[in-house]
Amino acid sequence: MSAMNSADHAHIAVPAHLTPTQKASVLLEAMPWLRAYKGATIVIKYGGAAMENAELMTSVMTDILLLKLIGVNPVIVHGGGKAINRMLAALGIESVFEGGLRVTDDATMDVVQMVLKGQVNSQLVNELNLHGNIAVGMCGNDAGTLKAVPISPELGRVGRIVEVDTRHVEDLIEGNYIPIIASLAAAADPHDEGVFNINADVAAGEIAAAIHAHKIIFLTDVDGLYENYPDPGSLIASMTQEDVEGLIDSGKLASGMIPKIRACTHALGEGIPRAHIINGTIPHALLLELLTDQGIGTMIARSDNADDAKLKRHALAGIATRLIENLPKE
């Protein structure tokens, strides 16, 4: 059986309260985007509250399933900070952070591996495979996919990625599977048989750049980037890579957002056309960002695609809305 045979009949519900005209509007607005993303590889960094709440997890996995069914090649990269914290606390091991990074001694590294591989990764794979054998779990250290060196002696087994081998991930994509990758890395030093703990935002950016993804999407707990957080009126719909650098220099970004932004700019600098930061706590946030004219989060385009950042729309966007406006009223 192929990876998708059992999933072809998965049921994606359309809200029952919509009128027939509204349902048609949804489908027509999505149409140009469906066409644009067919065959595209999209890296999704999954984390935050969307990974802690069962209903939100189901919503995200349903979105990813639908993207796969319409011809997108999703690649999921995840961490699991909150789950790691809980396990460390249960084992009586203190969680220590420096500069936003977890100090990872050998005992902590054992727990990190156990949680990311045995708990979080397995849960995500099982959630998607309820719809057929479409997802394959892996860790970044599998098949030497990610290789890293220590960031500093003080942080222990926290690594900086120096090499990405895409063959295993690309084989899964070509086999019509969804790779789900835990943010771990093998040691670049051949004499070091240990594993490194990697910031999942950074891992996602490195993987997206290496596989030449069409775009990278970060699921967070906020709506996107703000010019003056938390003023909701200052949410930035679209911007360029150059604009982002200016926002970082302004000191207006929360520290937790910096790794995501750096991962975005790295991926863009390596040729990825667009990056998105969206609120993963909004049900079906992925579909709303990718398959509607307005989107819901912040899109960042390469500086040489400045027009894309200004428009944030496919060339055909808006046609569906105008068609619906001309339909007879019910």
**312 part of a folded domain:** yes
* Residues belonging to the chain: 330
**Confidence bin at 318 (pLDDT 50/70/90):** very low
**Confidence bin at 85 (pLDDT 50/70/90):** very high
Distance, CA of 170 to CA of 175 (rounded, Å): 8
Does the pLDDT of residue 310 top 60, yes or no?
A: no
Question: Average pLDDT for residues 15-23, to the nearest whole number?
Answer: 61
87, amino acid identity: M
Determine whether 16 is exposed, middle or buried from the number of CB atoms within 10 Å of its CB (0-12, 13-18, 19+).
Answer: exposed
**Confidence bin at 307 (pLDDT 50/70/90):** low
**58 part of a folded domain:** yes
User: At 318, which CATH number?
Assistant: 3.40.1160.10
Number of domains in the chain: 1
Determine whether 168 is exposed, middle or buried from the number of CB atoms within 10 Å of its CB (0-12, 13-18, 19+).
Answer: middle
**Confidence bin at 9 (pLDDT 50/70/90):** very low
Weakest mean pLDDT among 9-13, 59-63, 113-117, 242-246: 9-13
DSSP code of residue 162: E
**303 part of a folded domain:** yes
Percent of the chain with pLDDT over 70: 85
Domain range for 105 is 40-325
DSSP code of residue 224: S
28, amino acid identity: L
| Per-position DSSP letters for 180-217, written without gaps between them | EEESEEEESSTT---EEE--HHHHHHHHHHHTT-SEEE
Name the residue with higher pLDDT: 98 or 315: 98
Residue 298 contacts residue 235 (beta carbons within 8 Å): yes
**22 part of a folded domain:** no
Buried b (16+ CB within 10 A) or exposed e, 100-129: ebbbbeeebbebbbebbbebbbebbbebbb
Distance, CA of 138 to CA of 180 (rounded, Å): 6
pLDDT, residue 260, reads 87
Where in 189-291 does DSSP place strands (E)?
Answer: 195-197, 215-220, 238-240, 274-279
**95 part of a folded domain:** yes
pTM of the model: 0.85
Determine whether 185 is exposed, middle or buried from the number of CB atoms within 10 Å of its CB (0-12, 13-18, 19+).
Answer: buried
Residue 287 contacts residue 218 (beta carbons within 8 Å): no
Residue 106 contacts residue 149 (beta carbons within 8 Å): no
As given in the structure block, the two tokens for residue 262 are 């750096």
Question: Average pLDDT for residues 207-214, to the nearest whole number?
Answer: 96
Determine whether 39 is exposed, middle or buried from the number of CB atoms within 10 Å of its CB (0-12, 13-18, 19+).
Answer: exposed
pLDDT in tens, 128-169: 999 888 999 999 999 999 999 999 999 999 999 999 999 999
pLDDT, residue 146, reads 98
**21 part of a folded domain:** no
Residue 277 contacts residue 260 (beta carbons within 8 Å): yes
Does the pLDDT of residue 207 top 90, yes or no?
A: yes
**19 part of a folded domain:** no
pLDDT, residue 308, reads 52
**Helices (H) then strands (E): counts for the chain:** 12, 14
235, amino acid identity: L
Is the bond preceding 20 in cis, omega lying within 30 degrees of 0? no
| Per-position DSSP letters for 164-178, written without gaps between them | E--HHHHHHHHTT-E
Backbone angles phi, psi at 309, to 5 degrees: -70, -30
**12 part of a folded domain:** no
Question: Average pLDDT for residues 273-291, to the nearest whole number?
Answer: 90
Q: Specify which residues 158 forms β-bridges with.
A: 197
**Confidence bin at 78 (pLDDT 50/70/90):** very high
Distance, CA of 118 to CA of 125 (rounded, Å): 11
CA 187 to chain centroid, in Å, comes to 24
